Structure 1
Amino acid sequence: MSNDSQLVRGTLLLTSATIISRILGLIYYFPFLWLVGTKGAALYAYAYNPYAILLSISTMGLPLAVSKFVSKYNALGDYRTGYRLFRSGLVLLSLTGFLAALGLYLIAPIIAPMFINGSGGGSGNTLEDVILVIRWVSPALLLVPMMSLVRGYFQGFQSMGPTAVSQVIEQIVRIVFILATSFFILKVMHGSLATAVSLATFAAFVGAIGGMAVLIWYWLKRQKDIKQKIAESKNVQLISLLSMYKELMLYAIPFILVGLAIPIYQQIDTFNVNKALMSLGYTLGQAEDIFAILNQTSQKVIMIPVSLATALGLTIIPAITRTFTAGDQVKLHNQITQTFNILLYLTLPAAVGLGVLSYQVYGSLYAMSEVDLGSYLLAWYAPTTIFYALFTVTAAILQGINRQKFAVYGLIGGILLKIAFNYEFVRWFGGKGAILSTDLGYGFSIFFNLWIIKKFAGYSYRSVLKNSFRMLVHSTIMGIAVWLVKWTFILWLPGGKERFLNAVITLLVGLVVGIAVYLWLGLRSNLAVEVLGNRIGFLKRKRNPKAA
């Protein structure tokens, strides 16, 4: 197999595994919420948000940075230098992982009061519960950083299989453990909610064991070949470990910081949403219901279109890097335009659809008993789909044109705005205030990134704006059609919108009608062919009938 074929195969494999892992990570949450409720979801968020930040710092840029480092020296015939980094990195990360796990365990009593006040008045969670779940998630930090290093080392050999398989196995083991233990404790043993959620957070460690077992199997299978290449190394670079780690961090830091965006925004909400609401007279239990919807349930829903859109749009980013390096300005502009077009073509109708069908979406996926509040906040959250996706892609484009430091500057500016306005926005607007402050922060970061792209890539947004207006018109027409379907079913179906089955039926029919209308409009106007024609088979043939 040629190097190019191997790279394409590996990239497709890794992308597929990432999408599968994300979809599994979204789907499991629905039965988990049915088991633990919004109170349990809030408790889960208290532990998982600080863990996600520490995890992102220790792993987000590590596989990519290690693979870039190893690949660079492997290309020179120097397999020994990459192996030195790998071997010393395992020792270093085992130490830092232990310290991070110990640190999170020890500071749990310190950070828990930052999330909630009191002892669970108004049916809320107690400080003891929050401390418990934070401590149970900490062991995962022992293994996950080392697992990321091993994945990056394999990727440096253009071998994506170990990463792909270990990601999926890790997620499956984690999900099975979460659902099995939660069901057993709550429904069989009739145990406490805190115990069930604690084991759900501990599942991150159990999943890591499964993922690491896969990587160890791959290592045992391939170590003979790897060690032979190391023994035959040439052009060995005599560089110190300190220099190696410095080079590694230069690769990793921009990816780490950009990857921290969503966990940091969630953590800001964790710090002050409950407190801001309680200052308005909400009980802790009422505040936690809103916090859980903001931080867990609604966000899980909006991440579905974000994940699919960015996965498709970001496949062109490596090509942007190559084109920018080659200095082909015309091709670079076409690739940036294509990336924006794909992203907006998918996220604009998704945001409109979520807004129109928010009641049916929330009621079908979660509890009908909480559908009024949940669907109200989900409707406000729907436009954030576009902000999340645009930030991810604009940051990636900046990385592609070697201006990644500006993505970090834009992120920092957005976070400062979120911090400055979040508490007061919640006091002024209630739960949706946290969403508005998120939109404000992301909006700043996106406009800053767009300005930097225009400045350093010489890019004009005229074509994107023109197509975006067409997409918005199509999405509005689609939204009206879905709205008519929704109210027709609400009026005609026995029991109205309050019945679970009615919500499911309305959602399914609304989705079918929405997709059909949007696709029909896209085909009639040729917009779908212009945006997706090179990626979707029948659209490609429509663009070029002679190819059929």
Structure 2
Amino acid sequence: MTDSKFLRGTMILTMATFASKILGMIYVFPFVAMVGQQGLALYQYGYQPYVILLSMATLGVPMAVSKFVSKYNAMGDYKTGQRLLKTGILFMSITGFLAFLVLFSMAPVISGWIISDPSDLDGNSLIDVTFVIRMVSVALIIIPAMAVIRGYFQGNQSMGPTAVSQVLEQLIRIVFILSMAYSVLYIMDGDLGTAVGFATFGAFVGGLGGLAVLLFYWKKRKHFIDQQVNESTVDHNLPLSNMYKELIMYALPFSFVGLAIPLFQLVDLFTFNNALTASGYTLGEAETMYGVFSGSAHRLILIPVAIATAMSVTLIPAITKSFTSQNDEVLQNQITQAFQIIIFLAVPASAGLMLLSYPTFALLFGLNDIEVGGYILRYYAPVAILFSLFSVSAAMLQGINQQRFAVLSLIVGILIKLILTYPLLIALGSMGAIISTFLGFTAAIIFNLVIIAKYADFDFRPLIKRTILIAAVTIVMSLGVIIVKEGAEQLFPLVSWMNALLIELFAMVTGILLYFIITVKIGLAGKVLGDRFSILKK
């Protein structure tokens, strides 16, 4: 395959992954309109344990299989890659089924960890939580095996099957979630627990759609793959033990770092309700806050994270190449640029979310829980910067062959989160979960930066200067947003969806234009974004 085709395939896969994530964020708006924040909290009760077990069952398999297959293909050994595919599908089917059995059987126990006082009728019942967990657990039977197939296609430099299956899986899942929630609540006049339970079953239905796409591509390309295998010039004939040992060595760092945000959310899952009800809140109030924190607000702050990291991680392969070839000057510039892009995009986006938290929440989730939603979103928004920095700094550690430290930094962050969350929730309410997340990720990022400075001999001074400039521009932008927002609220009080739209529109356009004009005029935008936006330098 030519380089141009490979680059095109990589771009298609990146765009598909980004589109899948955006779809996974925006469906929550109509979903919350139907089930409310407590319904979203119930959905999260099932989805969070599912994500952890799915990650444990797959262990970063797609990327690891891709790397393994690509390596042996390059040596002319196509048989080893196909042996991995056949045994891997069987192995991952077994691990997936075991994960399903664990989650399904443990559902009542997990429910008790989430809701310690089932007598509080103001919130979701243990029966509903158990039902939701069991419904989503079924997806574990098929999703892990799909990871192997996707990785095999990617290892053969064929990104289309993964891209199409990812997007179609997400689309089917979302359509199923929304249609089932609507049908149960508004057509069959069912209860909230039933609606959310069937909605979570969408993970399995979406998985079937994604699997069907992969099988279609496999059947279509089977003749070419068989021909390729028959033309192998080498056969390493690796024992299965050696094959899987090598695969796990590739997979573990990717898997563990990818678990960062889910692990932090798992701590909140098992502490949030128990701590807040112990400090005087009803279960219903605690669940509303948890729904906002782990669902609504969390998805909103992931939007700037997705945009910033998508632009910066494209530099990671180049960083790996510069480090390997010991081109220190280029390496310094690449690391600086990757961090600059994160700060340039995430800082003003987080500032905007903070300042417009109440109209943003009202616009997307309605006015019912605006006091709770606006408050949590305002103080949770800055964490988007930390999510972005951790993701990119951990990727850099992998790029300079120090991935073991990325795992250690995450362990440090999780321990801080684990120790502080419950007492901070007791003392500060929902703000406690935000602060513990902030402190945990800050510690992990500092750890990563120290290692980058040591092993890449990185000088942070130019980055600090650029960060101060970005912060100054963000402050100017924020002042403009505040003035326009306050003026708009005088004309359009925040009492209706249309008024929220007008306030958001005026203030957001002001902020974007101010930031864009100032950064372009002073040459900051062109310097940060580099050659890909060279027009900004003019």
* 1:58, distance to aligned residue in structure 2 (A): 2.6
1:417 lines up with 2:412 in the alignment: no
1:527 lines up with 2:521 in the alignment: no
Q: Map 1:324-339 onto structure 2 (within 5 A).
A: 324-339=323-338
Q: Deviations over 1:223-266 (max 9, x none)?
A: 11111111111121021011000000000000100000111111
Contact 2:43/2:200 (CA < 8 Å) preserved in 1? yes
Contact 2:526/2:535 (CA < 8 Å) preserved in 1? no
CA distance in 2, matches of 1:4, 1:401: 24
1:516 lines up with 2:513 in the alignment: yes
* 1:117, distance to aligned residue in structure 2 (A): 1.9
The residue aligned with 2:393 is: 394
Equivalent position amino acid for 1:66 in 2: V
The residue aligned with 1:370 is: 369
The residue aligned with 1:70 is: 69
SS of 2:369 mapped into structure 1 = helix
- Once the two structures are overlaid, the 10-residue window that deviates more, 380-389 or 526-535, is 526-535
* 1:83, distance to aligned residue in structure 2 (A): 0.6
The residue aligned with 1:20 is: 19
CA distance in 1, matches of 2:292, 2:453: 37
Equivalent position amino acid for 1:197 in 2: V
Equivalent position amino acid for 1:529 in 2: G
Contact 1:10/1:159 (CA < 8 Å) preserved in 2? yes
Q: Map 1:302-451 onto structure 2 (within 5 A).
A: 302-451=301-450
The residue aligned with 1:472 is: 471
* 1:119, distance to aligned residue in structure 2 (A): 2.5
Equivalent position amino acid for 1:506 in 2: I
CA distance in 2, matches of 1:181, 1:238: 49
Identity of matched residues, %: 48
CA distance in 1, matches of 2:384, 2:481: 19
The residue aligned with 2:50 is: 51
* 1:164, distance to aligned residue in structure 2 (A): 0.4
The residue aligned with 1:507 is: 504
CA distance in 1, matches of 2:364, 2:272: 24
* 1:120, distance to aligned residue in structure 2 (A): 5.5
Q: Deviations over 1:431-480 (max 9, x none)?
A: 01100000000000000000000000000111110000000011111111
Q: Map 1:128-207 onto structure 2 (within 5 A).
A: 128-207=127-206
Q: Deviations over 1:190-229 (max 9, x none)?
A: 1011111111111000000000000000000001111111
Equivalent position amino acid for 1:121 in 2: D
Contact 1:42/1:288 (CA < 8 Å) preserved in 2? yes
Equivalent position amino acid for 1:51 in 2: Y
CA distance in 2, matches of 1:56, 1:511: 37
1:100 lines up with 2:103 in the alignment: no
State TM-score, norm by structure 2.
0.99
Equivalent position amino acid for 1:103 in 2: V
The residue aligned with 1:483 is: 482
CA distance in 2, matches of 1:279, 1:378: 23
Contact 1:122/1:286 (CA < 8 Å) preserved in 2? no
CA distance in 2, matches of 1:175, 1:461: 43
1:83 lines up with 2:89 in the alignment: no
Contact 1:80/1:230 (CA < 8 Å) preserved in 2? yes
Contact 1:86/1:149 (CA < 8 Å) preserved in 2? yes
* 1:121, distance to aligned residue in structure 2 (A): 1.6
Equivalent position amino acid for 2:381 in 1: A
The residue aligned with 1:538 is: 535
Q: Deviations over 1:478-504 (max 9, x none)?
A: 1110111110011122xx122221111
Q: Name segments (4+ residues, structure 1) moved above 6 Å.
A: none
The residue aligned with 2:296 is: 297
CA distance in 2, matches of 1:535, 1:124: 51
Q: Deviations over 1:94-139 (max 9, x none)?
A: 1111111111100111111000023262420011111000000011
The residue aligned with 1:41 is: 40
The residue aligned with 1:258 is: 257
The residue aligned with 1:545 is: none
SS of 1:139 mapped into structure 2 = helix
Contact 1:17/1:165 (CA < 8 Å) preserved in 2? yes
Q: Deviations over 1:353-404 (max 9, x none)?
A: 0110000111101021110111001001011010100000000000100000
* 1:523, distance to aligned residue in structure 2 (A): 1.1
* 1:3, distance to aligned residue in structure 2 (A): 2.5
* 1:60, distance to aligned residue in structure 2 (A): 5.6
Contact 1:118/1:126 (CA < 8 Å) preserved in 2? no
